[in-house]
């Protein structure tokens, strides 16, 4: 009955063609490990956008700079969740930090990720400190206490103190750029460094992961900025949208070129096993690769059109929103094609497996969908607590009681 419905088998074997090692019939890394690089990618991209303003002082990104910071933080907090959920012994996860085995890429993760989270939290704190002080001023009771604690009981918003905040936020953002790059480059290394799987083993893997990460993060920001502007009944800043479109366009071109070079090299070399790679592309990951390729093409065409014809107003907003959503889907497909696709190609180079994700259970689609929703809820909470929008917008449209 109901309990039977939720009873999840201990493991799920995947069907295969050709010959695969018997142990390979259970795919070790499920879609949770697809979500993990996807989330870190979104973090890296969102952070880069906030740094365009905080580090390089690019004023056109100012309207989303602080929102981008909150987005990066909300998503980064959720990054370890899919990993923990996937572990056979999540309660032992901390061992990787206390007793790290340095030759493992995973051992570095906890350090790089923790360092990055700390940098991100500190930068957010400096970027929002003046708001904490203001919020502590015009709230009462528990809320007042909450903001006062966050402001460390300081009410110093003098020009000197604000300048100090800005300098620290900038310095931290500068540390954050290599940290975010390292974090995501490392994710690519996790896959690219394994010689056991031909589909993963590539020197370009960290670069491809990093670039597509930035693309997906910019895409996410565009979608969120347009959506929240709509919710706030505030027109999105057009200069900012155009700058985001240009950033997305430039990074997307580099991603497409580098990924194209990867495939070109692979097929040009045509090393042993290339027939199986062709079979993988024609078989298990055909749909995924089609989404990836078509998504990149559609987004590139749309963005080029928006930029070349200097579209404005509704056309710009709608075109950009579609391009950004397509990019988000396309990058997710790319993560799937790498993580799941790599495991669908047998180490025997003689067989192919077909992975069908389970619906229920720790590794199920329901859990995965939940994990993808949590960062959005967290971001909503952050935005409620720490409104990131420029005061001009806020005061003009949301009168305070």
Partner 1 sequence: MTKKTRPVDRRHVLRLIGAIAVYGATALQFLGGFAKRASGSVAAKASAAGSFPTASYDWTKHRWGFGVDATRCIGCLSCVTACKTENGVSMDPHHFRTWVERYVYLEGEERPRVDSQADAGDIAASSGSVDAYRFDDRDDRNVEKAFFVPKLCNHCANPPCVQVCPVGATFRTADGVVLIDQDYCIGCRYCVQACPYGSRSFNEALGVADKCTWCYHRITKGLKPACVEACPVGARIFGDLDDPQSDISQFIRVNRVNVLKPEMGTHPSVYYVGINRDVR
Q: Choose among 393, 384, 388: nearest CA to 67.
A: 388
What lies within 8 Å, CB to CB, of 81 at 6+ separation is: 371, 374
With CB under 8 A as the contact rule, the residue among 10, 231, 308, 356 that binds partner 1 is 10
Q: Could you tell me the smallest distance in angstroms from the CB atom of residue 263 to partner 1? A: 22
What the block records as the tokens of 289 is 């690769």
Residues 6+ away with beta carbon under 8 Å from 92: none
Integer Cα distance of 39 and 246 in angstroms = 23
Of these, 25, 139, 181, 246, which contacts partner 1 (CB under 8 A)?
25
**Residue 80 CB coordination number (10 Å):** 18
Which 8-state DSSP code applies to residue 39? Answer: H
From 56-64, 79-87, 230-238, 377-385, span contacting partner 1 (CB under 8 A): 79-87
Nearer to partner 1, 36 or 332 (CB): 36
Supply the minimum distance, in Å, between the C-beta of residue 130 and partner 1: 20
Q: How many residues bind partner 1 (CB under 8 A)?
A: 48
Asked if 26 is part of the footprint of partner 1 (rule: CB under 8 A), the reply reads: yes
**Residue 16 bridge partners (DSSP):** 353
In what helix (H) or strand (E) does residue 18 lie, and over which residues does it extend?
strand 16-19
What string marks each residue from 183 to 212 as x (binds partner 1 by CB under 8 A) or -? -------x---xxxx---------------
Residue 346: exposure state from Cβ atoms within 10 A (0-12, 13-18, ≥19): buried
C-alpha–C-alpha distance, residues 378 and 74, integer Å: 6
Q: Pattern 301-340, binding to partner 1, x per CB under 8 A?
A: ----------------------------------------
- Closest to partner 1 by CB, 89 vs 314, is 89
CB of residue 93 to partner 1, shortest distance in Å: 6
Site for partner 1 contains 393 (CB under 8 A): no
Query: How far apart, in whole angstroms, are the C-alpha atoms of residue 387 and residue 138?
Result: 14
Give me the phi and psi of 237, to 5 degrees please.
Answer: -65, 120
Q: How far is the CB of 86 from partner 1 (least distance, A)?
A: 7
- Looking at the Cβ atoms of 206 and 295, the one nearer to partner 1 is 206
Q: Count Cα neighbours of 90 within 13 Å in the Cβ-side half-sphere.
A: 8
Residue 345 pairs in a beta bridge with 352
Beta carbon of residue 47, minimum distance to partner 1 (angstroms, whole number): 25
Q: Identify which of residues 26 and 145 has a Cβ nearer to partner 1 in the complex.
A: 26
Q: Which is nearer to partner 1, 96 or 182 (CB)?
A: 96
Residue 6 or 313: which CB sits closer to partner 1?
6
C-alpha 272: how far from chain center: 34
Does residue 164 interact with partner 1 by CB under 8 A?
no
According to CB under 8 A, which residues from 333 to 372 bind partner 1? 343, 346-350
- Determine the 3-state secondary structure of 264 from DSSP: helix
Return the ∠ at Cα 377 (arms to 373 and 379), rounded to 5°: 115
Per-residue binder mask for partner 1 (CB under 8 A), 80-119, x = binder = ---x--xxxxx-xx-xx-xxxxxxxxxx-x----------
| Residue 398 dihedral angles phi and psi, to the nearest 5° | -120, 85
Q: Which range in 23-31, 71-79, 119-127, 313-321 contacts partner 1 by CB under 8 A?
A: 23-31
* C-beta of 80 vs 219, nearer to partner 1: 80
Please say which residue, 242 or 335, places its beta carbon nearer to partner 1. 335
Minimum Å gap between C-beta 200 and partner 1 is 8
Helix (H, G, I), strand (E, B) or coil at 359: coil
Compare residues 62 and 350 and give the one whose CB is closer to partner 1. Answer: 350
Closest by CA to 119, choosing from 52, 56, 211, 47, is: 47
Positions in the binding site for partner 1 (CB under 8 A): 10-11, 13, 15-16, 18-26, 28-29, 83, 86-90, 92-93, 95-96, 98-107, 109, 190, 194-197, 343, 346-350
């Amino acid at each position: 009955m109901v309990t039977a419905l939720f009873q999840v088998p201990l493991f799920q074997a995947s069907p295969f063609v050709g010959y695969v090692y018997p142990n390979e019939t259970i795919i070790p890394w499920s879609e949770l490990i697809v979500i993990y690089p996807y989330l870190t990618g979104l973090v890296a991209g969102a952070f880069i956008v906030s740094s365009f303003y905080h580090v390089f002082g690019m004023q056109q990104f100012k309207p989303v700079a602080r929102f981008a910071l909150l987005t990066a933080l909300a998503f980064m907090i959720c990054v370890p969740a899919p990993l923990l959920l996937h572990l056979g012994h999540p309660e032992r996860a901390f061992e990787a930090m206390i007793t790290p085995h340095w030759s493992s890429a995973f051992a570095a993760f906890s350090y790089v990720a923790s360092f990055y989270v700390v940098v991100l939290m500190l930068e957010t704190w400096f970027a929002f400190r003046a708001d904490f002080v203001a919020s502590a001023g015009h709230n009462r009771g528990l809320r007042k206490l909450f903001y006062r604690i966050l402001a460390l009981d300081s009410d110093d918003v003098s020009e000197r103190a604000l300048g100090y905040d800005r300098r620290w936020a900038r310095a931290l953002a500068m540390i954050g750029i290599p940290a975010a790059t390292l974090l995501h480059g490392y994710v690519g290394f996790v896959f690219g460094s394994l010689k056991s799987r031909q589909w993963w083993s590539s020197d370009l893997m960290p670069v491809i992961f990093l670039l597509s990460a930035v693309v997906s993060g910019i895409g996410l920001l565009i979608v969120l900025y347009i959506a929240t502007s709509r919710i706030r009944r505030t027109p999105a800043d057009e200069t900012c949208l155009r700058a985001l479109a240009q950033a997305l366009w430039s990074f997307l071109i580099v991603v497409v070129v580098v990924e194209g070079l990867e495939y070109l090299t692979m097929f040009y070399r045509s090393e042993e096993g290339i027939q199986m790679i062709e079979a993988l592309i024609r078989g298990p990951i055909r749909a995924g690769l089609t989404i990836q390729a078509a998504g990149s093409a559609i987004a590139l065409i749309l963005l080029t059109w928006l930029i070349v014809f200097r579209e404005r107003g509704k056309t710009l907003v709608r075109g950009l929103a579609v391009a950004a959503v397509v990019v988000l889907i396309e990058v997710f497909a790319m993560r799937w094609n790498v993580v799941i696709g790599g495991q669908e190609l047998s180490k025997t180079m003689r067989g192919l497996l077909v992975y069908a994700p389970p619906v229920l259970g720790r590794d199920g689609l329901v859990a995965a969908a939940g994990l993808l929703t949590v960062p959005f809820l967290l971001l909503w909470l952050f935005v409620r607590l720490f409104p990131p929008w420029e005061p001009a917008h806020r005061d003009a449209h949301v009168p305070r009681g």
